[in-house]
Chains A and B, each alone.
Chain A
Amino acid sequence: RKEVEQDPGPFNVPEGATVAFNCTYSNSASQSFFWYRQDCRKEPKLLMSVYSSGNEDGRFTAQLNRASQYISLLIRDSKLSDSATYLCVVNDSGNTGKLIFGQGTTLQVKP
C-alpha cells in the first residue's frame, strides 16, 4: 500500500465545473501537507500548502483532516489552463523534509 494514495483519474470536466480531488496518507506522524501541480514533462510546482483550518487561494480550496488522514483539493470554475496532474504530497514525519508523493490525479478541462 502506498504511503500517499490518490485516485489517478483522469477527471474530464467542462470549463466552469467544480472538481474535487481526495488523498489519504498512512503515516499519522506526518507534519506538513501540500498540493503540487505538474504539467507534462515539467517539474512539480507548489499549488498550496494544506492546513487543518483549511485554506483558500482564489478558486482553489484545500482541506486537511488529521483524524481521518485525509486531504482534499477543490477547484471551482475550472479553466482550460487547470489541465494538469495534481500531486498530493506529504512531508515525512522526520525533520529532514523528505516529501512523499501520491501518484497524482490527472485533470483535463475541456471547452
Chain B
Amino acid sequence: AAGVIQSPRHLIKEKRETATLKCYPIPRHDTVYWYQQGPGQDPQFLISFYEKMQSDKGSIPDRFSAQQFSDYHSELNMSSLELGDSALYFCASSRYQGGETQYFGPGTRLLVL
C-alpha cells in the first residue's frame, strides 16, 4: 500500500539559510500534519492542513511557514535556520481530520551547522 512520502530524506544547511521540506500524503487523504522531533524528544505538533486550508497551529516558529496544494501535497518552508532547528521533521496524513488514524512518513532529518 502507498505510504506518506517525504523529501528530501536528509538535508544539511548552514545557519541563516532556508530549507523546504515536501510531503506527499497517502492517496485520498486530505489532511496533512507536520511534527518536529528534536534529539531525545517526543514529536511536537507544528501545523496541519485540511482540504488545503490551515486547520491548526502548534509550536511553529514565525520563521516557518507551510501550505497545502491542490494535489494535497504540503511544503514546510523554513527560513533563517538556527542550530536548534536540527531535528527530524515528520509529516503525517489522515483521511479527514479529527480522530482519524494518522500515518507518518519516514521523516526528513535536518542538520543545521
A interface list, Cβ under 8 A from B: 31-32, 34, 41-46, 49, 87, 91-92, 94-104
Report A30 CB to chain B, min CB distance, Å.
Answer: 10
B interface list, Cβ under 8 A from A: 31, 33, 35, 41-45, 48, 50, 55-56, 58, 88, 90, 92, 94, 97-107, 109
User: What is the bound-complex CA distance between A46 and B4, given in angstroms?
Assistant: 14
User: What is the bound-complex CA distance between A94 and B99, given in angstroms?
Assistant: 9
Contact among A43, A49, A95 with B98 in the assembled complex (CB-CB below 8 Å)? A95
Contact among B41, B45, B55 with A99 in the assembled complex (CB-CB below 8 Å)? B45
Task: Check A96 against B99 for contact (C-beta < 8 Å).
Answer: no
When A95-B98, A97-B99 are in contact, do A45 and B104 touch as well, CB less than 8 Å?
A: yes
Residues of B within 8 A of A103 (CB): 41-42
